[in-house]
Amino acid sequence: MLERIEAAPKDAILGLGEAFKADPRSEKINLSVGVYQDEHGKTPLLECVKEAERRLAANPTTKSYLPISGLPEYCKATAELAFGAGNEPLVSKRVAWAQTPGGTGALRVSADFIAANLPNSTVWMSEPTWPNHPQIFNAAGIATKTYPYFDAPNNSLNLAGMLAAIEKMAAGDVILLHGCCHNPTGIDPTAAEWKQIADAVFARGVMPLLDFAYQGFGDGLEEDAVGLKAFSRPGAELMVCSSYSKNFGLYRERVGALFVVTSTAAAAASVQTQIDKVIRSNYSNPPAHGGEVVATILRDPELRKQWEGEVTTMRNRINDMRHALVEALAAQGVPGDYSFMTRQRGMFSFSGLTKEQVEALRSEYAIYIVGSGRINVAGLTPANIERVAQCIGEVVGQ
């Protein structure tokens, strides 16, 4: 019976990574997959992670199961990092939580939770968004729709379009927002715009769900939480999915968390049981190692300081590469004003390159970027940036 099953299409972004690996051209450059790379093109193992792993290995305890919702100390430290220690929902114990396998796991648990507990809700996502967003919610049986986000001609946020769309959402629907470093556009609301968005969302009775996968990659750990804090209001409900794949470089360890902020402590206790129920029938309980590493680092003042320094190094390198690319494009005489790239935040830049130009970059110059024109700025290095700018010049001029 299985021979009748047709092959599924390859994942658009991960498929590009495979094509890159198989490409025999030595000059190839991968600017597609969303993974941070250092100035040598390597995805580093952070020094603080190495040290935490040494400490954990020196004092092994048990490999017994974690609780369904994961390590309590990990969830607490993660909540404090995202919301800020002393933030009212945490103090009021209005937060249900779970350690999850990555940010993707958090999103899927949130989707299953919504499907089971808010069954008629539509989940609204930005146009464009990370392509896995609609897949995750659709896989959980949830209807998805899009709201305007990107003002292409001005390379900026389409705030008016977004607010008008929120006005038309049904009370009880869910709006998925990128907490910072919007993927793929790199365009985030300002603090004042976040406030306007939060006002509109709450006025409409819509549930905010923030995907917070890049804390520290935009302007700083605290600065990047400004959107989350705009929604974290007295008595207000909110969901947050966070990930340590990028800011701890723990991609393959699958470390993330889901937070569901309810209006009362009693509601949080009930919601916690529903989250646990969803997880139990999915993966039962999360893997321990990544959570133990993160909890060790966040709870040790010295390691935490070291981690903050390493996040700063990654963030600064990305922002330096943004400026360097704009300068290299200008030096190559590439027509157009690319200064918008320096205003974008996070690992990605929406370059404005067309599908055809993206295809020409891959086929003629072995430079891989995502079909939408999304460039992983963290894939640029001092050694490859000239060639990238030169080849962009070639395809733009064609």
Query: CB under 6 A: which stretch of 140-148, 243-251, 308-316, 356-364 binds ligand PMP?
Result: 243-251
Interface positions, 92-111, toward ligand PMP (CB under 6 A): 102-104
Nearer to ligand PMP among residue 50 and residue 252 (C-beta): 252
Interhelix angle 102-117/265-280, rounded to 10 degrees, is: 110
In angstroms, rounded to a whole number, what is the distance separating the alpha carbons of residues 192 and 174? 22
**Chain length of the chain:** 398
Interface residue with ligand PMP among 232, 245, 351, 381 (CB under 6 A) is 245
**Residue (of 238, 185, 246) closest to 210 by Cα position:** 238
The minimum distance between CB 224 and ligand PMP, in angstroms, equals 13
| Interaction between residue 130 and ligand PMP (CB under 6 A) | yes
Give the contacts of 310 (CB within 8 A, at least 6 positions apart).
Answer: 46, 47, 48
Nearer to ligand PMP among residue 291 and residue 329 (C-beta): 291
End-to-end CA distance of the chain: 50
Decide if 93 is catalytic: no
Decide if 130 is catalytic: yes
Cis peptide before 184 (omega within 30 of 0): yes
CA atoms within 13 A of residue 209's CA, in its CB half-sphere: 25
| Interaction between residue 206 and ligand PMP (CB under 6 A) | no
Interface residue with ligand PMP among 37, 183, 272, 351 (CB under 6 A) is 183
Decide if 21 is catalytic: no
| Interaction between residue 144 and ligand PMP (CB under 6 A) | no
| Interaction between residue 243 and ligand PMP (CB under 6 A) | yes
Answer whether 210's CB lies under 8 Å from 180's CB.
Answer: no
| Interaction between residue 89 and ligand PMP (CB under 6 A) | no
Of the residues 97, 130, 194, 307, only one is catalytic, namely 130
Nearer to ligand PMP among residue 34 and residue 218 (C-beta): 34
Nearer to ligand PMP among residue 162 and residue 213 (C-beta): 213
CA dist list (Å): 235 to 97, 268, 290 = 17, 12, 32
Interface positions, 31-70, toward ligand PMP (CB under 6 A): 34
Nearer to ligand PMP among residue 231 and residue 244 (C-beta): 244
Where do we find the tokens 């949830």?
Answer: 142
Interface residue with ligand PMP among 51, 173, 211, 292 (CB under 6 A) is 211
Give the contacts of 268 (CB within 8 A, at least 6 positions apart).
Answer: 93, 94, 95, 96, 260, 261, 262
Answer whether 36's CB lies under 8 Å from 314's CB.
Answer: yes
Which residue ranges make up the site for ligand PMP (CB under 6 A)? 34, 102-104, 130, 178, 183, 211, 213, 243, 245, 251, 256
Catalytic residue positions, numbered: 130, 211, 246
